[in-house]
Structure 1
C-alpha cells in the first residue's frame, strides 16, 4: 500500500465518514452531556459497523475473529500479530476512521477510539472466554470499555505503576487483591469493564506488571468523574482490595507492560490521525473565512501575511498526515521500528494540530472564541492529545533512544573502539 496516496475506494469511504460525522453523529453528540459517556452515539457507531471494523479490519482481510464478529477465524482466536497477512491494513483503517470522524465530529471520533483502546488488549491478548464475553458487546455499542494505565504518580512513566496486586489470602496463589488508584482514565467511572495494569512483583520495573480485565461491578471498585477541559468523560478509579483471579489476567502474569505497549504502538499513530482531522477542519474553516472576510480594502486572503500563514498551516498538516500514514503502514507491515515511527507520528501530528488550530483562531479573531464556534471547540479538544498516550516529551525520548544505537559513532563508543 503506497503511503503517499489513498486508492479511490479509501478516498470515497473517508468522504462518506465525513458526511456521516457532520450529518448524523454531530447532532447526536450535541444532545449528549459533556463529560458523560454518550451511549446513543456509541449505538450509532455500532449500527454503521464502525466499532466492529476496528477489530475485524478492512473488507477483504481475514479478521481476527471472535464470537459475533463474523469472518473466517475460529471463535475465540484473537487478532493475528502485526505483520501477519490477517493484520494488513488494520492501523491504516483506524487512522482513516479517526481522521475522517474527527474532521466532522470529534466526540464521535473519541467515542470510537476509546472503545478500541479499552478493548484492544482483550482482543489482542485476552482469553477465549474474555473475548466471547465482552467483544461482541463492545462492537454492538452495548458495553463501554476503558484502558486504565495512568495513575496520580505514574502518567508518562508507565513503568512506575503503584497499583498493587497482592496474593489474595483467601485463595493463595489463585487470586490477587488490587489496591490503589488510577487517574485520568477515559470513560471512567461509567465504563462497563476496565483493562487494568497493576504491579504483581515489586522492584522489577516494567517486568512486574500484569494486565487484568476488571468488570465495573467488581467489589471494592469505585470511581468519580473529573472535570476536564475536553468534553469527553475522564475519571478516577479507586481499588479497595478488589479481587481478581487468573481468569481475569490479560496475556501472561508479569507481561502486562508488553500488552500496554502493543496497544499504544497501534493507537499512537491514530492519535496523530485524530489531530490531523482537527487540523484539516481548522484549515478548511480558515480558507472559507479568509476568502470571505474583508479588511483593509480586500479579502484577508490577499494580505501576504495571512496567505503565508495559511500556506504554513496547509504544509504542516500535509506533512503530519503523510507521517501518520507512513507509521500506520509500518505497523501493518510488521516493521521492527514501529515504536519510533509511531512516536514520530504522534509527536509531529499533535504539535502540528495545536499550531494550526491556534493560528486559525488568531486569523478568525474574537468570533473564534465564542462558545459554540467550531474553533472554540477545537481549541479545547486539541490540547489533550499532546499529553495522553505519552506526552510529546516522552515521544521525543522514544525517538532519540531509537536513533542513537543506529548511528556508527554511538555503536563505536558502546563497543569501546
Structure 2
C-alpha cells in the first residue's frame, strides 16, 4: 500500500466539516436531552447530506467524516455513526423492498436505526449470543431473550437484531432480523451511562418475525455482523483520533499562554516533551486508521487485521492523549462543561464497544498466526 496523505480536496472537505460541526451542529447538540436521541441534530445531519454519504462513500470518507465531526462536536459524530451502524446492514444485505422502506428515512434523519448485537452474557463474544429465534411455523420465528448496551435503544424506529436460529452452531447459527421498534413483545429501558448517549436494554417476549424480516440468509447473520464491524471499526478509530486532536490542540494553546515558574509552560522540557509525545501518537493512530480504511476500500485480504489494529491503537492513543491533556491543564479541566471534562467522559467507551481492546488483540494474533500457517 502506498504512503498515505490526503488530497487537497479531502483536506478542504475535512476543514469544512469541522466548521459545520462547530457552527451548525454543536448548538443543536447542546440543546439535546442527555441520554435521548436528538432528533433536530439528526435532521440537520440529513439536511447537510452527511447521512446519505454514509451509504454512497467508502470507508476512508466515513473515517474523514467521523474524525472531523468528533473534533468539534462528539454528539454529532455519534449520531451519524449510530445511524450508519444500524442501517448499513440494510444497505449491504437488505432486499430492494427493505432498502426502499427504511433507508430514505435514515438518510433524512427522520428514521432512527440501531444495531442490536450485544447481550448481558455475550458482549464482545458475538458468536456466543443466546437471543433465541424459535420456529413458529414456515418461515416464521419468535424472538425471546435480551439485548443490552444497544445504542439508540429504546427509542429507535427499527433494530438490526442478531438472534440464534440454530442452537449449538456457534457463529453459523445466527440470523440477522429487521425488527420495528413497535413490534408486539418488544420493550426497552434506557441506561444511565458515564457519557450520556442514548443507550438501552431490550427485552424480547416472543417477538414475531418472518422471512420478510430476515437480512441476508438464515443462519448467515454472523457474516452480516462482521461485515458491518469490519467497516466501522476503523472509523471508531477515526472518532478517537478526532478527540485526540482536539485535546492536543487545546493543550498546545494552553501551554503556550499559561505562565508558571517564570515563563510559559511550553518552555518546561517535561511539558514540551509530553506535548510532542501526544502529537506523535495521534499522527501514528491517524495513519493506521487511514491505512485500514483504504485497505477496506481496495478489497484487501487483511482487512480484519488492519481494522482491529486501527481501532486498538487509535482508541488507546486517544485515552492517553486526553488524559495527558487533562494533566497539563490541571484542575480547570475537571470542571463540568470544560472541553477536556467532556472528552474525558467520551473517550473511555470506544475502548470497549464494537469489540474491546482485548478482543482486538485476539483478532490481530489470530490473523497473524493464520498468515504464518498459510505460508508455504
Q: Is the structural similarity TM-score above 0.5?
A: yes
**1:379 corresponds to:** 344
Aligned-partner SS, 1:282: helix
**1:324 corresponds to:** 289
Aligned-partner SS, 2:159: strand
Q: Does 1:148 align with 2:113?
A: no
CA distance in 2, matches of 1:189, 1:32: 17
Q: 1:174 Cα deviation (Å)? A: 2.3
Aligned-partner SS, 1:173: coil
CA distance in 2, matches of 1:294, 1:284: 18
- 1:359-378 CA distance string (max 9 Å, x none): 00000000000000000000
Match of 1:160 among 104, 128, 151: 128
Rate the CA distance shift 1:3–1:30 in 2: closer, same or farther, 3 A. farther
Q: 1:231 Cα deviation (Å)? A: 1.9
CA distance in 1, matches of 2:22, 2:266: 26
Q: Superposition pairs for residues 20-169 of structure 1, below 5 Å?
A: 20-57=20-57, 90-168=58-136
- 1:5-31 CA distance string (max 9 Å, x none): 111110000000000111111110000
Q: 1:328 Cα deviation (Å)? A: 0.2
Q: Superposition pairs for residues 7-22 of structure 1, below 5 Å?
A: 7-22=7-22
**Cα contact 1:180–1:238 (8 A) shared by 2:** yes
The TM-score with structure 2 as length reference comes to: 0.99
Q: Does 1:262 align with 2:230?
A: no
Match of 2:139 among 174, 188, 196: 174
The TM-score with structure 1 as length reference comes to: 0.89
Aligned-partner SS, 1:211: strand
CA distance in 2, matches of 1:2, 1:341: 15
Rate the CA distance shift 1:411–1:265 in 2: closer, same or farther, 3 A. closer
CA distance in 1, matches of 2:289, 2:340: 23
**Cα contact 1:3–1:329 (8 A) shared by 2:** no
**2:199 corresponds to:** 234
**1:78 corresponds to:** none
- 1:303-361 CA distance string (max 9 Å, x none): 00000000000000000000000000000000011000000000000000000000000
Q: 1:411 Cα deviation (Å)? A: 6.2
Give the root-mean-square deviation of aligned CA atoms.
1.1
Q: 1:405 Cα deviation (Å)? A: 2.7
CA distance in 1, matches of 2:145, 2:229: 23
Q: Give unmatched runs, 5+ long, in structure 2.
A: none
CA distance in 1, matches of 2:162, 2:2: 36
**2:329 corresponds to:** 364
Q: Superposition pairs for residues 151-230 of structure 1, below 5 Å?
A: 151-168=119-136, 172-230=137-195
Match of 2:209 among 244, 253, 258: 244
**Cα contact 1:3–1:322 (8 A) shared by 2:** no
Aligned-partner SS, 2:133: strand
CA distance in 2, matches of 1:132, 1:352: 40
CA distance in 2, matches of 1:368, 1:199: 46
**1:404 corresponds to:** 369
- 1:10-59 CA distance string (max 9 Å, x none): 000000000011111111000001100000000010000000011012xx
CA distance in 1, matches of 2:49, 2:374: 49
CA distance in 1, matches of 2:228, 2:320: 27
Q: 1:208 Cα deviation (Å)? A: 0.2
Report the number of matched residues. Answer: 376
**Cα contact 1:212–1:250 (8 A) shared by 2:** yes
- 1:249-299 CA distance string (max 9 Å, x none): 000000000000000000000000000000000000000000000100000
Q: 1:3 Cα deviation (Å)? A: 5.4
